[in-house]
Amino acid sequence: MTVNTDQRTNRSHRIFHVPPNTSEYQYRGRKHFRNVLGSENRLLEDKDGKRSQFIIFSNINEQTFEKVFADPSDATFARLYSSYIPGFGLLLVKMVTQVHEQAHKELATTIMFKLHEMNNLDRELQKIGRAEFGTNSRRKKADASFRPVQLPASRSDKWPTMIIEAGYSGSSKDTLDAGARWWLKESERDVKIALTILVSRTRREIVIDDWEIGGMADEG
């Protein structure tokens, strides 16, 4: 279970905008993947809050990705990845914690409640969860995604209208920001709002950023 430490690793970190202490491994099969995930999850539970929430796996061609990670019948692997870049054979895994899951689910619940108070507008928005979206160069999942129940005639269902990305550590902010920009840019304005929520263990704070077309609209 050797960690990559060469120049290619630095390239991978730049591509995904992940912290420099993010571990990278060459993919060596399902058993190896499970072992790495178990080991990294235990390290994430340390008390200093500085461990990266992400893992990079290299050497994953499109055939392997489709067979192992894109098969909806095998949720064990399909639910784990956050982003895949076929041109480089790179897969990004975001390790989730109870706090991470609570953060984006509570934010989604608050949004739906506010819409409900506005003449039941929540009925016009459907939750599509961690569905996969993307382009030929990258496939990606948000922690939560939404789109109207009835799309305009000129609008395809290729992209959601709003997404939520959550992070659990101070070092995740750059990754969240880059992800928000990616959703807005690559969707060619189909994604109208990208919300990021960062729970910092070290600072004991929660930061929510609202990204819209043209840049970051608000921070709270």
Q: What is the mean pLDDT of the chain?
A: 87
Percent of all residues in the chain with a pLDDT value above 70, rounded to a whole number: 90
Could you read off the pLDDT of 1-33 as tens digits, one per residue?
A: 555 545 456 899 999 999 999 999 999 999 999
Average pLDDT over residues 133-140: 95
What pLDDT does 110 receive?
93
> Structure pTM?
0.87
Question: Cα 165–168–170 angle (5° rounding)?
Answer: 110
Class of domain 98-219: alpha beta
CA distances from 192 to 27, 67, 139 (A): 35, 32, 19
Domain edges within the chain: 7-94, 98-219
| CA atoms of 81 and 189, how far apart (whole Å) | 24
pLDDT band at 58 (very low <50, low <70, confident <90, very high): very high
| CA atoms of 109 and 7, how far apart (whole Å) | 43
